Amino acid sequence: MISQDRVEEEICRLFKQAVITLPPDVKKALKDAYDNETQEVARLNLGAVLDNIEAAEDLGVPLCQDTGLPIIFVKLGKVEVDNLLEGIRRGVERATREIPLRPNVVDPFTRKNTGNNTGQFIPQIDVELTDDNYLEITVFPKGFGSENNNALKMALPGEGEEGVKDFVLDTVLAAGGKPCPPILIGVGIGGSSDLALKLAKKALLGEVGVRNPDERLARLEEEILSQVNSTGIGPMGLGGKTTALDVKILAADTHTAGLPIGVCIQCWAARKATGRLK
């Protein structure tokens, strides 16, 4: 039996790791972008980002003041768990006090802050059932400078791959420098409207620089990445070679009458951390 206390402890640990230390794949992509950049302003911006990452790790403090909305992805295998929901909620509350995380959760209308990063339907929890013999938890603190630039299109089936590419590019152009590029772009294709956006967000959990095992989707990822980086938006929107570090795509089957396309944009602070309990 995995106790509620163990879940709470793991959630708190994962949030501390996520908001202070970027994953190695993201840090490598940012360093590669810096090494390959030729524009002076772009190099200055990327250099500042790299310095910020190093300072956060050295000081043990969050690398961005916006520690995000708490989003949790759970893979629940063939294990017994004591009150998973309460363990997650208490873990978020504890992380908010101890790390600390900035209290970001408010009523959508009154804007009254709950003070502990929990609230109605928050933390946002996605549960996937598996045949594994463990409980896997991924925390994904999502800042809203990038989240506010997400988009959904209920495209017509005939728009196909070109429609997908055009919509992602239009979304990136509309976002410009607002999501603090260089960004990561998650794309969800198919399913229903809500599933397309969920897939777009889950796509961001993939490793930067690793292509989709589906050859068609891998090709689409590369084509969109090339188009986005050809815009010249660059780091912080001030010009340069690297507007996006990567494009990640997940696809689901869908209805014969539709082609939902979800786009989820992540800033350079692509924070995530995963742990397993048995």
Full-model pTM: 0.96
3-state secondary structure string, 147-180? HCCCEEEEECHHHHHHHHHHHHHHHHHHHCCCCC
Cα(4)–Cα(206) distance, rounded to whole angstroms?
Answer: 28
SS3 content of the chain, % helix, strand, coil (to 5): 40, 25, 35
Predicted confidence band of residue 86 (pLDDT cuts 50, 70, 90) = very high
What is the per-residue pLDDT across 163-182, written as a single tens digit (0 to 9) for each? 999 999 999 999 999 999 99
> Length of the chain in residues, anyone?
278
Predicted local confidence at residue 89, as pLDDT: 98
- CA 194 vs CA 143, 191, 245, 252: distances in Å: 20, 8, 25, 12
Judge whether 97 and 16 are in contact, CB under 8 Å: no
> What are the residues whose beta carbons fall under 8 Å from the beta carbon of 79, sequence distance 6 or more?
2, 133, 134, 135, 277, 278
User: What mean pLDDT do residues 149-159 have?
Assistant: 98
Predicted local confidence at residue 146, as pLDDT: 98
User: What mean pLDDT do residues 203-226 have?
Assistant: 98
Percent of the chain with pLDDT over 70: 100
Predicted local confidence at residue 186, as pLDDT: 98
Mean pLDDT (the chain) is 98
Predicted local confidence at residue 225, as pLDDT: 98
Predicted local confidence at residue 210, as pLDDT: 97
What is the per-residue pLDDT across 240-269, written as a single tens digit (0 to 9) for each? 999 999 999 999 999 999 999 999 999 999
Give the residue extent of every domain in the chain: 4-18+63-142, 145-266
Output DSSP code: residue 119: B
| Locus of tokens 């989709």 | 212
The closest alpha carbon to 185, from 266, 127, 112, 261, belongs to 266
User: What mean pLDDT do residues 101-125 have?
Assistant: 98
The closest alpha carbon to 63, from 118, 10, 16, belongs to 16
The secondary element (H helix, E strand) that includes residue 183 is: strand 183-191
